[in-house]
Amino acid sequence: MQELNQARLRYMHEVIVCGSVRGAAEKLDMSASVISRQIQLLEQEVGLPLFERRARGLVPTEAAEMLEEFLRGYRAQHEHLQDRLQALRGMRRGHVDISLSEGMIEPLMTHVLGPYCLEFPNIRIGINTASVDEVVEMVRTDRAHIGLAFNPPSHPDVRIRARRHIPVGVLVRAGHPLARRRKGVPPAELLRYPLALMTAPYGLRRIVDMLEFSEKIHLSPALTTNSLGVLRQYALSGAGVVLMANLGGGPELANGDLVLVPIDHPLMRQAEMQLMARLGRPLSTAAAELLRRIESRLPLFAKPQ
């Protein structure tokens, strides 16, 4: 097979993303007929059809998915070459994209990103807060160089660079009956109180689903949200209790307005915060340096001196 035309691969990628030739044409400000012709020429190059027309639009074939994977690898290698050359000029340019769980924003900014940005002011940083599934997917598809997620699903293309067990407990307002408990709270006792939970795609909710299955109970939340801040405010209001990892209590936990009580179940001690990168991805100098600093300077992962 002859060398693939990079422009045609780009047109194919945009059709995959947009779901139609017309959508890709509008995004690229080109004629739809030009893109259709280039897709046809690319199909001739590879000797296979690249799209199937279905009710919801154009769907990529297995051949198109293989070409898309090749294009991601090519772009990653090209980015790596650019950043290696930039490193010779003292990291005066570059970018790093991070996808992470909301609860990690404050410690990451305080201990790692703030000092990093001061030292390398010309490195552009992109931060995206997302559910654990989205964090894993962004790392897997090279939309994020680095991922930080609580209790994420495993994926063969994603390498765990560091991990730390983070217990999940019951977050309550000071003065709540559970706040006086010295021992862990049995899971069944959670049924006695109004409860707030994270929504399904998040790591906190995944561990709750496992607890329900293990204990054969059903926790019916009075409130669901994708925001840790909302959960903290719900507990602070005294309206009910919240299941929370031992890093998301905020200043209210530090000053005693909120109390995090352990849950008496081994599953609640097995959840993890994980630092991730795609397996086999050659990271840029800027991304590799930031990853090294997260491993060594973020208190969650750093080894005691």
The span from the CA of 98 to the CA of 138, in Å, is 9
The model's pLDDT over 74-90, given as tens digits with 9 standing for 90+, comes to 888 888 888 777 775 67
Structural element, H or E, at residue 276: strand 272-278
Q: From start to end of 116-268, where are the E strands?
A: 124-129, 146-150, 158-165, 168-173, 195-198, 223-225, 241-245, 258-262
Q: Say if strands 95-100 and 124-129 run parallel, antiparallel, or are unpaired.
A: parallel
Residues 6 or more apart whose CB falls under 8 angstroms from that of 88 comprise none
- Residue 1 — pLDDT band, cuts 50, 70, 90? low
With cut-offs at 50, 70 and 90, classify the pLDDT of residue 285: confident
Query: What is the reported pLDDT for 84?
Result: 77
Query: Which pLDDT does position 8 carry in this prediction?
Result: 93
Does pLDDT of 28 surpass 60? yes
Mean pLDDT, rounded, for 251-260: 83
Architecture of domain 6-68 in this structure = Orthogonal Bundle (1.10)
Q: What is the pLDDT of residue 229?
A: 87
Contacts of 22 (CB under 8 A, 6+ apart): 32
Residue 38 has pLDDT above 90, yes or no: yes
Reference 15, options 61, 58, 56, 55; nearest CA is 58
Class of CATH domain 92-164+272-297: alpha beta
DSSP 281: -
Q: Look at 41-50, 77-86, 179-188, 291-300 and tell me which has the smallest mean pLDDT.
A: 77-86
Q: Please tell me the predicted confidence (pLDDT) of residue 55.
A: 77
What's the pLDDT band for 305 if we cut at 50, 70, 90? Answer: low
- Give residue 49's pLDDT: 93
pLDDT on residue 304: 62
CATH number assigned to the domain with residue range 168-270, chosen from the 4 options 3.40.50.11540, 3.40.190.10, 3.30.930.10, 2.60.40.10 = 3.40.190.10
Give residues with Cβ within 8 angstroms of 91, minimum separation 6.
120, 122, 123, 285, 286, 289
| pLDDT the model gives residue 252 | 76
From the list 171, 147, 166, the residue with the least C-alpha distance to 232 is 171
Query: Model's pTM, two decimal places?
Result: 0.73
What is the distance between the alpha carbons of residues 102 and 128, in angstroms, rounded to a whole number?
9
Q: Which of 140, 68, 69 is nearest to 99 (CA)?
A: 140
The answer on pLDDT for 9 being more than 90 is yes
CA-to-CA separations, 235 to 145, 201, 204, in angstroms, rounded:
35, 21, 16
pLDDT band at 249 (very low <50, low <70, confident <90, very high): low
For residue range 181-223, list pLDDT tens digits in order.
878 899 999 999 999 998 887 888 888 888 999 999 999 999 9
CATH 3.40.190.10 in the chain, residues?
Answer: 92-164+272-297, 168-270
Amino acid found at 144: A
Segment 52-61 mean pLDDT: 86
% residues pLDDT > 70 (the chain): 97
Is the CB of residue 242 less than 8 Å from the CB of residue 235? yes
Q: Average per-residue pLDDT in the chain?
A: 90
Cα separation, 165 vs 185, in Å, equals 19
Q: What pLDDT, on the 0 to 100 scale, is given for residue 3?
A: 78
pLDDT above 90 coverage of the chain, percent: 65
